Structures are given as C-alpha cells and as structure tokens.
Amino acid sequence: MSVRRTIIGATSKPKEEQSNGHSVRPAISKVRFGGLLLASTFCLWSLSMNVSPVYAGCCEEGTKEVFIEHIEEYTATGNTDLPGCADTTQGLYEEFGDAGGWSRTWYADFDAWESDWKKTSLSGGEDATWADARDFGYFCGHGNVGRVRFTTNNTDQRLWNTDTGFADVDLEWVTFDTSNTLQVQPGAAELDTWYLNAFQGLHLLIGWHDSPLDGDTGGEFADEMIDWGFWDGGGKKITTAWFSSSGGCTDQDDGTTQVVMAENLVHYDDYVHGQGSVAADAAPDGNYWIWSHDC
C-alpha cells in the first residue's frame, strides 16, 4: 500500500466535470508487453527510437520555459470549485522558480484560456504563442474523458483531444491534472485520438485515468522533479516523480490510477531541463507507449 502525505487544506472534491458522458471511438488493436501497453494507430508494431540524450542542461532555444494554468472558480459552469488547484499550482510555480533559470508564465481562472492550448491551425488557436512556445506545460482544473474544462469562451470552454497539436513549436511535456482526461477506455480509442493529435514531437503526456482529489499534486510533483539544493532531494525523472507517493500521488486515495503516454520508450526516462538527460525529439510514427500506475 502506498504511503500518502496529507496536506492541510486538501479536499475530497474530485476534479471531474459534470457530464452526460462522452462517445467512444472504435477500438484499435493493442499489444501488451509485461505491463507496458504499446498502441499502434496504424497497425505498425516496430518502434523508431533515438536513444541519444540531448539538451541535458537546457533546451533548444537556450531558455527553459514553463507554462502553467489553473482554474479554481467553476461555480458559474455548474461544477464544484477547486481551491486545491490554486495552492498546488503556486507550489509548482515556486519549485520551478527555486530551480533557477526557468522563465515562468502562470494564468489563473478567467485568464486561463482554452485557446492557449489549442493548435494554431484551428480557428482561434494560439498554442504557438502560449503553451507550445514553452518546454513544460501544466494545467490543473476539471476534466473528463478526452477533454479539459475551462470557464471562458476563448475560444470555448472545452479543450478536446482533437483540438491539440503539441511540440510542432517547442513543447516537450504536458501534464493535465484533471479528472479522467487520459482515461483508458475499452480499446483505448480516446488515447489513440490523443496520440494522433497531441503528439507532433511531444515526449510525454501525463494525467489521470481516474478522478484525483483536489490536493497538492502539482507542487509535490515538481518538488520530486527538481533538485535545487543540498537538502531538497528531488531531481527525479518526470515519470518517476509523477508516480511517486510523495510526488504526483500526494493526497490521493490508494488505487487512484495515473497515466503517462510517450512517443518513444526512451522518453519515459526524460528529466526536466537542468536535472538530467532528455531524449531527442521524435516525429510521430504511429506507435506510442502507455504506462498506468495506481497510487
């Protein structure tokens, strides 16, 4: 059984958008390898891997950048407020600041827009200016299967998996700290849709199969990823930090399931810039990897 740290102020509200459900697309065949699920959207089973580590200290353009958004106030949409998102996002923001050398952008509530994550090729999409212009993206708020919920009509209140197209500019890693957004449904059809759209050079897409509690997930996740001093600890691989009982599983019930998707197997071992090696970008080849983990 996992050890769970309790943070004062954590609530039992799940980060799940109230919904009448979401359609499931036709299943695509999968092959399972020892607990790792390799999905092929084009029925191609070979992996194209580039194992050379690059950008260990920084990044392509010489600046380490993180894009952070959260929404706490959801009452107007008919969903519960998420006060924990404000606290955990502040913790994540501060951890990247303590690491040094990171340019940080943080928007909250009505300033957090769907268009910031929507691919620029779609009407109203501005991800090339915002999320995709950074290296690490994090959003905390409500969600549901295949989508994330916002509160303004910029351009609308839901970011669907078909709206995304990450890393054709810069982005390597995205975390949606939202309910059910990466839910593994029968046939994993929604994850196939995430892969076909979001992975345009993206290394990792990180999130939840289940509904996480509104606790200090993001702040402790960042604390595990980043080692900024002798007594700090941290400095772990991104996936290790997410799956850690003192990282991404903080404040969560035992058995709450997390999900990580990767373009190539080597991306599982990525660190954030400045903490360790980062595998080279890879063009989408129709194959992706899925890991699930129970807190």
**Beta carbons within 8 Å of 38's beta carbon, 6+ residues apart:** 30, 31, 32, 45, 47, 287, 288, 289, 290
Every domain of the chain and the residues it spans: 37-294
The sheet carrying 158-160 orders its strands as: 143-144, 147-149, 158-160
Rounded Cα distance between 200 and 196, Å, is 8
Q: In CATH terms, is domain 37-294 a member of 3.30.870?
A: no
Quick: pLDDT tens for 227-238. 876 556 689 999
Query: What is the Cα gyration radius of the chain?
Result: 17
Tens-place pLDDT, residues 81-124: 999 999 999 999 999 999 889 999 999 999 999 999 999 999 99
Q: What is the pLDDT of residue 183?
A: 96
Question: Across the chain, what does the average pLDDT equal?
Answer: 82
